[in-house]
Amino acid sequence: MQGKIIHQTSWAKTASETPIALYKKSHSLSESAERPVLFIGGVHGDEPEGVILANELLLWLQENEIIQTERIRPWLLIPCINPDGYSRAQRCNGQGVDLNRNFPSRDWSPECKAPRYYPGPSPGSELEVQALTKLIEDEKPQLIVHFHSWEPCVVYTGAPGKEAAELIAEGTGYPAREDIGYPTPGSLGQYGWLEHQVPVICVEAQEHSELSTVWPRFAAGLKAFLMRR
């Protein structure tokens, strides 16, 4: 069967009506037993490395789904979940909320540690987060991978994510580890794992990297993870 990719140009919208795109592999019945992997770029608008990684991964999927569709796991991909923050090169969304503190996990906290970490007026208040939590409930991904930049590391939340995190980190020189080193209430990791038992991997590319080096560093690990053995 030839690979087919569904592209929803306006899968969701931000509070200022900016469209958010979603791509997904349309899987055949024989593949439906395996739940998809959800990839997300641009949670933080001032981390262009994460958007580059998501877009480069999408390009590779678009090229390879045609020739070896049966070998690639089912997937969903959002190149940039925070387009308003991204267009302004700011961490928070257009409403000034840190999306990675706004998820309705049981540990969500109204406490704002710093202005750039404002968790929002209530858990799940932001449209970007609402769209994502609905997608997770509907599609029941086996794993969520979101791309950021900070100090280089691949962090997994939920022990079942360890193997995939190690595979993605392989050859990058980055450590794969379970804890980012500080509490992140209301993060996507806490939401996915605590509320749905879906492990979540946060890829932290080296911040302020030469952008052309980001994809080559992670390409082998991401491809190895996506290909069925």
Interface contacts to Zn ion, rule CB under 5 A: 44, 47, 148
Nearer to Zn ion, 72 or 168 (CB): 168
> What's the closest the beta carbon of residue 229 comes to Zn ion, in angstroms?
31
Q: E strand or H helix at 215, and its extent?
A: helix 214-226
For Zn ion, the closer of residues 24 and 44 by Cβ is: 44
User: CB-wise, 44 or 101, nearer to Zn ion?
Assistant: 44
Nearer to Zn ion, 72 or 202 (CB): 202
Nearer to Zn ion, 43 or 58 (CB): 43
| Direct distance between the N- and C-terminal alpha carbons of the chain, in angstroms, rounded to an integer | 18
What is the number of other CB atoms lying within 10 angstroms of the CB of residue 2?
Answer: 7
Closest CA to 9 of 25, 1, 193, 19: 19
| Minimum CB distance to Zn ion, residue 107 (Å) | 18
For Zn ion, which residue has the nearest CB?
Answer: 148
* Alpha helix ranges (H) inside 11-99: 48-68, 83-87
Token pair of 56, please? Answer: 């480069």
The closest of 143, 21, 23 to 81, measured between CA atoms, is 21
- Min dist CB 62 to Zn ion, Å, is 25
Q: What's the min distance (Å) between Cβ of 85 and Zn ion?
A: 10
Q: How many CA atoms lie within 13 A of 172 on its CB side?
A: 28
